[in-house]
Amino acid sequence: MDFSLTEDQKMLRAMVRDFAEKELEPIAAEIDEEARFPAESVQKAAELGLTGIGYPEEYGGSGGGTVEQAIVFEELARACAATSVIFVATNELAAYPLYAYGTEEQKQQYLVPLLKGDKLGAFGLTEAGAGSDVAAMAMTAARQDNGYILNGNKIFISNGAEADIIITFATVDRSQGYRGVTAFIVEKATPGFSVGKHERKMGIRAASATELVFEDCLVPVENRLGDEGRGFRIALETIDASRLGVAAQSLGIAQAAFEKSLSYSRERQQFGQSIASFQAIQWMLADMATQIDAARLLTHRAAFLKDQGLPFIKESSMAKLYAAETAMFVTTKAVQIHGGYGYTKDFAVERYFRDAKIMEIYEGTSEMQRMTIARQLLRDD
């Protein structure tokens, strides 16, 4: 069994880490405080090909697979979790369903600019009454001769304020439950579409999370993604894939918090010695490092399985669950190690702590991951 990265993967990690440390980390606290979208940094990252990681060059991608995506998203999140979220929303949530289910015309028109970084994407699924329960969707799509009339609202949509291309979902028949859910491609300039409330979030504040409003929004038939009634499957398959992006983000946050804690514990003096010499601190650091390593192995294993075309749903849920909870554990310990300083905005660990919490919630809560894992275990038996 070989747990090492290839030379190309190591070079990719080094390149992204260098970029993130120089371009993202220095402004991470500032854009968090101002809740400001880092447009210039996103453009620079796109020029490096990071928006297209994991997709073939024929569609504007940069090549590589899911392991490479995990490497990129971890390194971005290590410097700035919000920037990593922006990229996952475009690269996985918007691009994946287009790549997997789009027609050739849809791929050329919408997927290519997403992967090249010319446009940003979003994934409009969550509603006020339909979070984990996607089948409870209330947004409707009424068929017309020339397309579909969309009516309804989506909430908590990452990149909602900036996205040029939105993959969204509506039901053509609520009586059919999940069988009525259908996927659509909506351009930002489409009449009847608008951005509603901007959420004021605890963490990842530089990445927007907004309401999307559809009021008699006419979407042409050619912008339906897949067949009618296939939207539920498209949504779940996309989320299955994107869980690994969240796992990688969680790793990046945890790794950053651990590194800051390790450094601080060596420098901070109490009772005439560094706090790193105290067993209580050593045990915290040992637990932090162990959980991060285990989470990374789970994440890379699931990414490897996906790249090999093997079943990976159980493994991706395990990775997302464990990595997210590891991020919360590690950042909590990081604040504790920093003591009173860790509770101030002068030290990055308080931002890591705030950023980590959402990892246990979006792309399927920890509770939903446990349900998925259990379901897969029982099915395997």
Coil, helix or strand at residue 270: strand
Give the residues across from 53 on adjacent strands: 63
Alpha helices in the chain (DSSP H): 7-19, 25-34, 39-47, 66-79, 81-88, 95-101, 104-106, 112-116, 231-267, 279-307, 313-338, 349-357, 366-380
Question: Are 24 and 83 spatial neighbours (Cβ–Cβ below 8 Å)?
Answer: yes
Give the Cα separation of 149 and 252 in Å (integer): 41
> Is residue 228 flagged as an active site residue?
no
Q: Which residues contact 36 (CB under 8 A, 6 or more apart)?
A: 30, 206
Alpha-carbon Rg for the chain, nearest whole angstrom, is 21
Beta bridge partners of 124: 168
Distance CA 309, CA 311 (A): 7
Torsion of CA 121, 46, 255, 273, to 10 degrees: -130
* Residue in 121, 1, 117, 102 with CA at minimum distance from that of residue 53: 117
Q: What is the C-alpha separation between 83 and 31, in angstroms, rounded?
A: 10
Contact 91, 83 (CB under 8 A): no
Q: How far apart are alpha carbons 234 and 161 in whole angstroms?
A: 23
Cα dihedral 287, 292, 293, 296, rounded to 10, equals 160
Q: Rounded distance, CA 188 to CA 246, Å?
A: 25
Per annotation, catalytic residue among 21, 57, 363, 367: 363
Please give the structure tokens belonging to residue 259: 């590194």
Per the structure block, which two tokens stand in for 227?
């067949």
Residues noted as catalytic: 363
